[in-house]
Amino acid sequence: PAILSYRNSECNNEVMQSRQLQDDDASSGGERLLNVLAEQMKLPLLQIARSAELARMGANPADKLDNIELAADGALKLLDGYLLSIKLARAQRELELEPISVAAVLADTAHNLGKLAKQYGCRLELHLAGRYEPVMAHRAGLEAALSSLGYVFIEAQAAAQEDEEHPIIKLAAHRSRAGIVAGMFAEVEGLTAEMYRRGKALYKEQAAHPLNPLTNGSGAGVFVAESLLSSMSAKLRIAHHQKLTGLAATFIPSQQLQLVGA
C-alpha cells in the first residue's frame, strides 16, 4: 500500500507539472500574441489620427471620415478576433465543434472585407472548386480567422500595387486527401513554407516584424488566425490554389452528416 501510495503521488506530481507547463506555454503564447497585436494597432490608430487632422483642415472631410470608419472597423474586428482566440483557447478541451458550410463562411468573409479591399484598391474573388459537404469547425472562430488573414493579405497586396493594378485576393476552398482546404490566396512574392517557418520562429522571439516580406506590419492577423484555428485542431500552413500561394487550413468533413446521408 505504501509503494502504491508513493507511485500515485508521483503520478499526480507529473500530471500537475505537465498542466503547469501547458499553462506556462499558454501564458507565454498569449503574451506574444498581445505584443504583436499592440504593434499592429499602431497603424490604424495612426491612420485615424492623420485622417482626423486632414478633415479638420478641410481636405475632403467626407473621404477622411470614410477612412476613419474603415480603419476603426478593421482594428475592432482584429481585437474581436484576438479576444475570441483567448476564449476558445481556454475552452479548447470542452470546445464543441459543429457541422458548418465552408462556402457560406468564405462568402460572408468576402462580403465583410469588401469595403476595406476597395479602399486599398484590391479585388476579392470567391472561388469554390466544387460543392462541399459541411466540415467540423467553430463558425465564429473560422470567420474571425479568415477575416484576420484578409486584413494581412489586403495590406500586402496594396503595398504591391506598383506592379499590378487591382491585385486579386482569392478566398477559396478545394478538396485534398486530408479534407477540405480553405484559406486566402494571392500572388505574394516571397511567401513560402520556409519564410513562414522562419516568421513563426521570429514571432516566438518577439520580433517586431516577423513576417517580412509578406507584411511590413507585425502580422498580428496571421497569428490571431493561427490561434483561432489551433483551438479547432486545425493547422494554419502555406498552401496553393490555382497557381496562387496563400495561408489555409484543412478541415475534416462531418462524418455524422455523411452517415445520415448514407
First to last CA, the chain: 54
What's residue 236's pLDDT?
97
For every one of its 262 residues, what pLDDT tens digit does the chain have, with 9 covering 90 and above? 555 555 555 545 544 443 443 444 445 567 889 888 988 888 888 888 888 888 777 766 677 788 888 889 989 999 999 999 999 988 877 788 999 999 999 999 999 999 999 988 999 999 997 889 999 999 999 999 999 999 999 988 877 665 557 789 999 999 999 999 999 999 888 889 999 999 999 998 888 888 987 887 888 999 999 999 999 999 999 999 988 999 999 999 987 544 444 3
Contact 211, 199 (CB under 8 A): yes
Is 103:156 a contact under the CB 8 Å cutoff? no
What local confidence, expressed as pLDDT, does residue 22 receive? 43
DSSP state of 217: S
pTM: 0.83
d(CA 205, CA 165): 36
The pLDDT value recorded for residue 170 is 96
